[in-house]
Chain A
């Protein structure tokens, strides 16, 4: 079974630009969660999608948005990029929403650098 894939793996953008990151979950998994990881803040929850609906959202500004398609693939968009958005963005999939007692499976992440 293929794991969680994220594209692209690395990205360099300029302040003010926007970016779209993609995540393909493990086959059969309908829940996709996004996290931002930075050295100072650790692993912070962005949002979770289950069956194309956003279930939970973390404490991030509206510049961060996401969506999920009918095949469970998910995209995350960040508009008007700021230097502080430089981070590793991790996607995780699970069978049930919120993990529901089961583990999450993580992709390798997309390293975003904003200059």
Chain B
């Protein structure tokens, strides 16, 4: 069964510093990959997605992620973070199993941006 591992539960970083949030998934023939962000007291919203094509995917708010098939990773990066980026970030994988397509979420990484 597919699984998603977000390697860091919390990531503290100073404002304007770069950040990388790590995500690994278990191997599959083909997968679709997503990063979602959740601000306090809100639902999740899509940051970016990889369906096919270029392995470097650009999303909203200056975030980007790189799909690495050999390492089964989909790490999220931002070159310079803002205080407003403080939120919880979820990596998700959608693939086709015996029961059809299913989306699995990682446990989340809480990003704290400090002034």
Contacts and interface: CB of A to CB of B under 8 A. Distances in A.
B51 A56 contact: no
B53 interface: no
Interface of B: 32, 34, 36, 41-46, 49, 51, 90, 94, 96, 99-108
A108 B42 contact: yes
A103 B46 CA distance: 7
Most buried by A among B101, B104, B107: B101
A31 to B, nearest CB: 9
B43 A98 contact: no
B109 to A, nearest CB: 11
B105 A42 contact: yes
Does more than half of chain B's interface fall in helix, strand or loop, or is it mixed?
A: strand
Given A56-B99, A103-B34, A98 B94 contact: yes
Given A42-B107, A43-B108, A103 B102 contact: no
Interface residues of A, number: 25
A66 interface: no
Nearest to A105: B46
A33 B45 CA distance: 15
A99 B105 contact: no
Contacts of A98: 94, 96, 100-103
Contact of A104 (B41, B42, B99, B103): B103
